[in-house]
Structure 1
């Protein structure tokens, strides 16, 4: 039976931290489903379709599937018959939030486990929100996001 994990997030935009977690996830799992959350509480810069395309450009590997979901993550995992959620951690503040989420998910479905991976030391300070702010003011993002993501950010903010 293949080992499959779901790596959920908004990925608005995809950062090198996300890329690192996904690459490392592929060393542990046979397949990773990058599940784009359609979060009604957030107003994303990129559409779901744009975010999916940026991920696919970064991972043309058939072991990475890009999908979308809304609602409860455990319901989505159950519908896909995937028992593992992959999450990245940057700092202690991430851990507190992620621990709450993992415990709630486990309460909702004790057959689904969460696996945490620490972000690379070089990426621990990077967040999608910070990337958008730097891009909005024309700052350099080399080494923070994949080159094609940087180009799309430049296009978005030059309009």
Structure 2
């Protein structure tokens, strides 16, 4: 049986830190499903379809699928055949938060386990929230993304 992990990649945008977690996850799993979502409580600055296409190009010829999602991650993982959630950690605060989410997922969805990977130190400060805010105020954020912003506009 293939080992499939669901990585809830980002609401906006997908960063090099996310790419790092997926690439390292490919060493552990047969397939990674990247979930790209829409958070109705935040104004998105990166359109979903171009972001999905850009991520697909980043992982071309690799066992990676990109799916849109707006639901609980464990449910989306299970619905897509994944039995693992892949989560990236940047610091100890992330671990406390992510571990609490993992416990909720275990309680709600038996058979979906969470695997934590620590982000490479040089990529640890990159978060999609920071990138989105920088972009909103006109900063060039291409250095933080695995694809140029022009691919998304």
Under a length normalisation based on structure 1, what TM-score does the superposition of the two structures give? 0.85
The alignment of Structure 1 onto Structure 2 pairs a total of residues equal to 153
Distance 1:107 1:141, change over 3 A: same
1:49-64 to 2 correspondences below 5 Å: 49-64=49-64
Q: Please show how residues 123-134 of structure 1 align to structure 2 within 5 Å.
A: 123-134=123-134
Bigger Cα Rg: 1
Structure 2 counterpart of 1:15: 15
Cα distance change of structure 1 residues 133 and 80 upon mapping to structure 2, 3 Å threshold: closer
- Structure 1, 54-63 or 82-91: larger mean CA deviation: 54-63
The residue aligned with 2:85 is: 85
Does the 8 A contact of 2:4 with 2:81 survive in 1? no
| Matches of 1:88 and 1:131, distance apart in 2 | 17
Distance apart, 1:120 and its partner CA = 0.4
Give the match for residue 74 of structure 1: 74
Cα drift, residue 152 of structure 1:
4.2
Distance verdict in 2 for CA 1:132–1:107, change over 3 Å? same
CA distance in 1, matches of 2:103, 2:88: 16
- For structure 1, the residue ranges without an aligned partner over 5 or more in a row are none
The farther-off stretch of 37-46 and 102-111 is 37-46
Q: What per-residue deviation string (whole Å, max 9, x for no partner) do you get for residues 51-101 of structure 1?
A: 211211211124010111222222212222311000100012211211111
How far apart are the structure 2 equivalents of 1:27 and 1:90?
A: 19
Asked if 2 retains the 8 angstrom alpha-carbon contact of 1:88 and 1:118, the reply is yes
Is 1:41 the counterpart of 2:19? The answer is no
8 Å CA contact 2:9, 2:18 repeated in 1? no
Contact 2:142/2:148 (CA < 8 Å) preserved in 1? no
